[in-house]
């Protein structure tokens, strides 16, 4: 049966010829999933990553590795974790390995500095050439944070934040998109931005971090606009405060911040990395087939206050 809604004649480019005054087509129905109309895929199966592989930067620990593990739970064939650290966190990696075993996938680790553009391109090229699964996704989660009053911000530190969070993220999404185009893959790129890209955090002196995360929101929109023609979707996820090594370091220096952060949350609590599994899975799967250039804010209502 045609993937186009019944009774409608598709024109050559796959959309209905509305000039003939025929029925209006539901274009979502016309979307294809390896020859099967998306509308015929049962709703929960839309989130399955069976037969796919995903690259995760910042995949040595924290949010990146937690979500990498979740991708395995969603039947992802292989998760390629990359991070500047020589090795992933031992306990978190053991959990990921367990999930791989339980759900029939696999996970591997490569040390990679995302600011090294040549290394990023060659690592991604190797992954795409060697993967037995279609590498349909990239989760760009690598990032750094620093608290310095902006009147005193050292130039080198400001540049470092921009280098990692903005330039490094761009190198990774560019390298992935190049490979997706080369291998004709309809891919999805999810960038971890932050609610800090849309607000100034009360009590925090994080001007460089906030500026870098705001840049990611614009990078996402511009990349999505250029790469949509290649069937590549690009979106950002903007989390609120999460308890990870990054925030633990901040709270060690400024324990008073926790109360401030709780006041900002409509749910009166911080989040945990696992609460971002669903949102990222949505972005990296067919469930978000018409979502691109968007920012998904998952912040316990913080930015809505």
Which residues, numbered 231-250, are part of the site for ligand NAD (CB under 6 A)?
239, 241-242, 244-247
Distance CA 162, CA 147 (A): 14
Q: b/e per residue, 96-119, with b = 16+ CB within 10 A?
A: beebbeeeebbbebeebbbbebeb
Which residues, numbered 23-62, are part of the site for ligand NAD (CB under 6 A)?
57-58, 60-62
Distance CA 276, CA 243 (A): 12
- Known catalytic residue: 213? yes
**CA-wise closest residue to 36 among 3, 9, 75:** 3
Least distance from ligand NAD to the Cβ atom of residue 156, Å: 15
Least distance from ligand NAD to the Cβ atom of residue 270, Å: 8
- Known catalytic residue: 128? no
Catalytic choice (52, 80, 109, 213)? 213
Q: Which is nearer to ligand NAD, 33 or 146 (CB)?
A: 146
Which residues, numbered 75-134, are part of the site for ligand NAD (CB under 6 A)?
83-85, 112-115
Q: Which is nearer to ligand NAD, 45 or 275 (CB)?
A: 275
Distance CA 166, CA 193 (A): 10
Distance CA 192, CA 199 (A): 16
Distance CA 80, CA 124 (A): 10
In which residue are the tokens 């968007």 written? 294
Among residues 46, 117, 119, 144, the one that binds ligand NAD under rule CB under 6 A = 144
Among residues 142, 223, 281, 284, the one that binds ligand NAD under rule CB under 6 A = 142
Q: Which is nearer to ligand NAD, 113 or 295 (CB)?
A: 113
Among residues 143, 187, 279, 300, the one that binds ligand NAD under rule CB under 6 A = 143
Among residues 141, 177, 180, 207, the one that binds ligand NAD under rule CB under 6 A = 141
Three-state SS sequence of 226-287: HHHHHCCEEEEEEECCECCHHHHHHHHHCCCHHHHHHHHCCCCCCECHHHHHHHHHHHHCHH
Among residues 4, 30, 53, 63, the one that binds ligand NAD under rule CB under 6 A = 63
Q: Which is nearer to ligand NAD, 4 or 164 (CB)?
A: 164
Number of residues that bind ligand NAD (CB under 6 A): 30
In which residue are the tokens 């974790």 written? 81
Instruction: Give the interface with ligand NAD as residue ranges (CB under 6 A).
Output: 57-58, 60-64, 83-85, 112-115, 141-145, 164, 168, 192, 194, 239, 241-242, 244-247
Instruction: Point out the residues that are catalytic.
Output: 209, 213
């Amino acid at each position: 049966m045609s993937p186009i809604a019944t009774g409608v004649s598709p024109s050559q480019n796959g959309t209905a010829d509305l000039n003939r005054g025929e029925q209006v087509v539901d274009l979502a129905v016309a979307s294809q999933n390896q020859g099967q109309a998306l509308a015929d895929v049962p709703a929960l199966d839309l989130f399955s990553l069976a037969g796919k592989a995903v690259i995760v930067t910042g995949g040595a620990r924290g949010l990146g590795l937690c979500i990498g593990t979740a991708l395995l739970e969603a039947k992802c064939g292989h998760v390629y974790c990359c991070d500047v650290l020589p090795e992933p966190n031992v306990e978190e990696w053991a959990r990921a390995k367990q999930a791989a075993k339980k759900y029939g996938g696999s996970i591997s680790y490569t040390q990679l500095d995302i600011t090294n553009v040549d290394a990023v391109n060659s690592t991604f090229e190797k992954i795409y050439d060697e993967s037995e699964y279609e590498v349909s996704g990239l989760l760009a989660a690598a990032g750094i944070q620093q608290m310095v009053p902006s009147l005193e911000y050292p130039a080198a530190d400001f540049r470092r934040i921009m280098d990692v969070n903005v330039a490094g993220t761009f190198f990774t999404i560019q390298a992935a998109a190049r490979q997706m185009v080369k291998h004709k893959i309809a891919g999805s790129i999810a960038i971890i931005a932050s609610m800090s890209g849309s607000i100034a955090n009360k009590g925090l002196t994080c001007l460089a971090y906030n500026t870098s995360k705001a840049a990611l929101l614009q990078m996402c929109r511009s990349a999505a606009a250029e790469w949509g023609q290649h069937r590549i979707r690009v979106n950002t996820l903007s989390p609120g405060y999460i308890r990870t090594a990054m925030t633990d370091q901040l709270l060690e220096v400024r324990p008073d911040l926790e109360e401030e952060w709780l006041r900002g949350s409509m749910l009166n609590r911080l989040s945990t990395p696992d609460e971002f599994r669903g949102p990222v899975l949505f972005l990296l799967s067919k469930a978000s087939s018409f979502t691109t250039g968007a920012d998904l804010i998952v912040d316990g209502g913080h930015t809505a206050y």
